[in-house]
Chains A and B, each alone.
Chain A
């Protein structure tokens, strides 16, 4: 008996039982189901939700692989074991040592994210008797890419449980949530464990450990674990980093967000496959540039003294905001989540613009933590239904006006 018919018999056996959703989730992972159409259209297009989600994951894989190399690279660079790489293809970047150390740090994050998150999803599916929906496939991939590399795994697990339950399942699961689940997880980490999620230690593997050793009186060199944004917020900068390093991603930061080059490639893939909304991506970038220009204008007009604590970030040339921090990653992979974004095409322009605009505003003015992208996206997630409401009302008003003209 072939695997196909064995699984089919098992599916028939589990039908109607409590465990059916869990079995079906595994079954449909292997085989496209044998369901046929009933009523309605007799044929259907080739795409299903799994394919859509899988496309996003494919767009994220380069960022993940790069993130592994970068985690190792940043560690060895900070400890002085290697020289700085020269550009994207620099010899000291794509080394086996970097990959091994990075994979050792990053893969556990991926495993915990998927393991814990999918366990919660299966549990809810079995309790509530619905199918396991595919939303977490993308969330589970995003989560390891937006956390610092040294985050303790238990912390991640707690956050994932919180994010999936409160961010998604209480609203009814995939398609019903108001907030982006991956960002809910990120926000939970930020507010529950602020000392871990910000500051100048967590962004390079080993930096925290080393500082603890120093505090314990050992005679070793400190490792700087600071991000570029953190440095700018202190009105300083990191030595030895030029714009190309930022663009290629040879900088410390969350695991997957540093390489703007690979993010742009992922964005082009998502736009080409029509899975990601180009409207949101483009308008987010426009919004960020506009806010950056306004801040540059304020600095140029001399309205703010260079002793101000906002001066450092405000004076960053507006276009550089795109290559530092996580604005591009947020615009491409986070803001475009179709469930939590605006659903109308006009609404998407407004929604994206405001995300970009507010991201840079928070980035400059937030005293505690020099990044605002995830806060801006969560804020606009909340306002997306309001934006859609007004866009749809315009259509409704047009219809009302037509009626009035007729009856007048």
Chain B
């Protein structure tokens, strides 16, 4: 049964530097890097050594707890460096890319004729499994489980996010193949949520349940959709997968090749010409933004400003990310910044902050915290930007004092850190909401499992 979800609570943070709808091919990076920290909770066991030659799609490492869960190389080439941190933790695996890419051939498959177990085995073997995440806990899905439903969001409402309708256009065959494969993985429905009034190639694919959504961010967050369509109860699992990753899965099925090429939105006020580029996961950010960025006191983020990762201009594109954001650092003092009227920053209050006067103005926000860390004081502000049927402040506090029963009762099974990105943005006390939720989920995973 399809639903029309309307979100009222939320906030669209309008920023300068939206990507123009033209796509260039980024120049090939000299090396590509995979960071195991992209795969939260996975302890990597290396399958390669420095100097090994590897084809695109061949495994770099597997999960320590599950040998079948392999993580593929996005490119073909030679393992050039394995960077380790404290306690020999693997931070980065660098691959020197070949000039002409060679792909491992996994063989063409017709998903509609495969059984659920066959699809599962094929996705694991081809290294596509890490694209599938699960709730509870917001980690890579456990292949041993069977989810009650699978959710795909076809709408990205985060600030400056890549327009999914634009980047998915022309990939109908891959998307259909991938969605067909997903329908084999669950007894329940594959819910696909697209923007209301849009024209997404994801909508109305046979075998899936299509929904539409409208309203401010987080209207596009899959956590919002799950909460409104089929919330996660204790003991239940749902799987989620990002729309762009469906293309990679679809291509594996249709051609047998693992091709982690994505269309990336290069955005933010420090980018001189915001646009889309095509690039392979793990590419060097400096190759994606070459000649197109002002590097003077700039923060470069892989992902969006709410839940992306600070990478720096020398960093790499995150494994799941389809956006680069560059904004100015805010490491300067502001005279009487706490009481003078503010016109150039976003606020949900009207306490001499005037962003309510111009709801459509685009802001050039920097990374200043605009205040110091404090205990929770104000109430009711989070609820205004939090559309889930969950009490955000009570949940955060339960995580902070690590009361597992209360966390469970308040709905922690349903949430991911990104659901608390907006409450973190508006937080007057500057509390790190996403970190609190992540640590709470990790604790639950460890204690309850």
Question: Which residues of chain A from 39 to 71 have a CB within 8 Å of any chain B CB?
Answer: 39-52, 54-55
Q: Which residues of A contact B327 (CB under 8 A)?
A: 42-43
**Cβ-defined contact, B434 with A40, below 8 A:** yes
**Cβ-defined contact, A274 with B351, below 8 A:** yes
- Alpha-carbon distance A71/B374, docked complex (angstroms): 37
**Cβ-defined contact, B394 with A32, below 8 A:** no
Interface string of B370-381 (1 = CB under 8 A from A): 111111111111
A176: Cβ under 8 A from any B Cβ? yes
Q: Which residues of B contact A265 (CB under 8 A)?
A: none
Q: Which residues of B contact A54 (CB under 8 A)?
A: 338-339, 351
A4: Cβ under 8 A from any B Cβ? yes
- Alpha-carbon distance A30/B340, docked complex (angstroms): 11
Q: Which residues of A contact B391 (CB under 8 A)?
A: 344, 392, 395
A41/B331 contact (C-beta < 8 A), A46-B355, A51-B371, A392-B410 known: no
Question: Which residues of chain B from 333 to 389 have a CB within 8 Å of any chain A CB?
Answer: 333-339, 342, 345-353, 355, 365-381, 383, 389
Question: Which residues of chain A from 1 to 49 have a CB within 8 Å of any chain B CB?
Answer: 4, 7-8, 28-49
Interface residues on A, range: 35 or more
A236: Cβ under 8 A from any B Cβ? no
A43/B365 contact (C-beta < 8 A), A36-B329, A173-B375, A176-B375 known: yes
A169: Cβ under 8 A from any B Cβ? no
- Output the nearest chain A residue to B375 by Cβ-Cβ distance: A175
Q: Which residues of A contact B353 (CB under 8 A)?
A: 46-47, 51
**Cβ-defined contact, A396 with B338, below 8 A:** no
A272: Cβ under 8 A from any B Cβ? yes
B201: Cβ under 8 A from any A Cβ? no
**Cβ-defined contact, B369 with A36, below 8 A:** yes
The smallest C-beta distance from B16 to any residue of chain A, in angstroms, reads: 12
Question: Which residues of chain B from 294 to 351 have a CB within 8 Å of any chain A CB?
Answer: 299, 301, 305-308, 310, 325, 327, 329-339, 342, 345-351
**Cβ-defined contact, B331 with A175, below 8 A:** no
**Cβ-defined contact, A273 with B378, below 8 A:** no
Contact of A175 among B233, B376, B433 (CB under 8 A): B376
Contact of B432 among A7, A39, A135 (CB under 8 A): A39
Question: Which residues of chain B from 402 to 445 have a CB within 8 Å of any chain A CB?
Answer: 409-411, 421, 424-430, 432-435
Q: Which residues of A contact B337 (CB under 8 A)?
A: 31-32
Contact of A35 among B372, B381, B409, B425 (CB under 8 A): B372
The smallest C-beta distance from A41 to any residue of chain B, in angstroms, reads: 5
Contact of B349 among A174, A273, A345 (CB under 8 A): A273
A375: Cβ under 8 A from any B Cβ? no
B90: Cβ under 8 A from any A Cβ? no
Among A30, A36, A131, A388, chain B packs the most CB atoms within 10 A around the CB of A36
Q: Give the number of residues in B that approach A within 8 Å (Cβ atoms).
A: 77
B26: Cβ under 8 A from any A Cβ? no
Q: Which residues of B contact A277 (CB under 8 A)?
A: 379-380
A338: Cβ under 8 A from any B Cβ? yes
**Cβ-defined contact, A51 with B351, below 8 A:** yes
- Alpha-carbon distance A30/B337, docked complex (angstroms): 8
Q: Which residues of B contact A402 (CB under 8 A)?
A: 231, 233
- Alpha-carbon distance A225/B379, docked complex (angstroms): 40
**Cβ-defined contact, B378 with A52, below 8 A:** yes
- Alpha-carbon distance A137/B347, docked complex (angstroms): 22
Q: Which residues of A contact B124 (CB under 8 A)?
A: none
Q: Which residues of B contact A55 (CB under 8 A)?
A: 349, 351-352
**Cβ-defined contact, A135 with B349, below 8 A:** no
A40/B352 contact (C-beta < 8 A), A51-B371, A341-B379 known: no
The smallest C-beta distance from A325 to any residue of chain B, in angstroms, reads: 27
- Alpha-carbon distance A35/B331, docked complex (angstroms): 6
The smallest C-beta distance from B395 to any residue of chain A, in angstroms, reads: 10
A343: Cβ under 8 A from any B Cβ? yes
- Alpha-carbon distance A105/B236, docked complex (angstroms): 67
- Alpha-carbon distance A403/B378, docked complex (angstroms): 32
- Alpha-carbon distance A134/B371, docked complex (angstroms): 11
- Alpha-carbon distance A267/B345, docked complex (angstroms): 25
The smallest C-beta distance from B321 to any residue of chain A, in angstroms, reads: 14
A316: Cβ under 8 A from any B Cβ? no
Contact of B347 among A40, A47, A173, A345 (CB under 8 A): A47
Q: Which residues of B contact A31 (CB under 8 A)?
A: 333-337
Q: Which residues of B contact A176 (CB under 8 A)?
A: 375
**Cβ-defined contact, B389 with A32, below 8 A:** no
The smallest C-beta distance from B237 to any residue of chain A, in angstroms, reads: 13
The smallest C-beta distance from A20 to any residue of chain B, in angstroms, reads: 13
- Alpha-carbon distance A37/B410, docked complex (angstroms): 28
The smallest C-beta distance from A288 to any residue of chain B, in angstroms, reads: 22
A45/B370 contact (C-beta < 8 A), A175-B377, A402-B233 known: yes
**Cβ-defined contact, B369 with A40, below 8 A:** no
- Alpha-carbon distance A16/B320, docked complex (angstroms): 39
**Cβ-defined contact, A50 with B371, below 8 A:** yes
**Cβ-defined contact, A174 with B374, below 8 A:** yes
**Cβ-defined contact, B371 with A133, below 8 A:** no
**Cβ-defined contact, A338 with B378, below 8 A:** yes
**Cβ-defined contact, A51 with B339, below 8 A:** yes
Q: Which residues of A contact B381 (CB under 8 A)?
A: 274
**Cβ-defined contact, B425 with A36, below 8 A:** no
B52: Cβ under 8 A from any A Cβ? no
Question: Which residues of chain A from 129 to 149 have a CB within 8 Å of any chain B CB?
Answer: 131, 133-135
**Cβ-defined contact, A34 with B333, below 8 A:** yes
Among A38, A45, A131, A406, chain B packs the most CB atoms within 10 A around the CB of A45
Interface string of A280-317 (1 = CB under 8 A from B): 00000000000000000000000000000000000000
- Alpha-carbon distance A42/B368, docked complex (angstroms): 8
- Alpha-carbon distance A30/B335, docked complex (angstroms): 6
Interface string of A214-248 (1 = CB under 8 A from B): 00000000000000000000000000000000000
State the A residues within 8 Å of B (CB). Answer: 4, 7-8, 28-52, 54-55, 131, 133-135, 172-176, 272-275, 277, 338-339, 341, 343-345, 348, 388, 392, 395-396, 398-400, 402-403, 406
13 contacts across the A-B interface (CB closer than 8 A): A31-B336, A32-B335, A32-B337, A32-B338, A36-B330, A43-B366, A48-B372, A49-B378, A49-B429, A174-B374, A277-B379, A395-B391, A406-B236
18 new A-B contacts, CB < 8 A, other than A45-B347, A338-B379, are: A30-B335, A35-B368, A40-B424, A41-B305, A42-B367, A43-B159, A43-B305, A44-B369, A46-B355, A48-B428, A50-B338, A52-B377, A54-B339, A134-B374, A274-B348, A277-B379, A344-B379, A398-B389
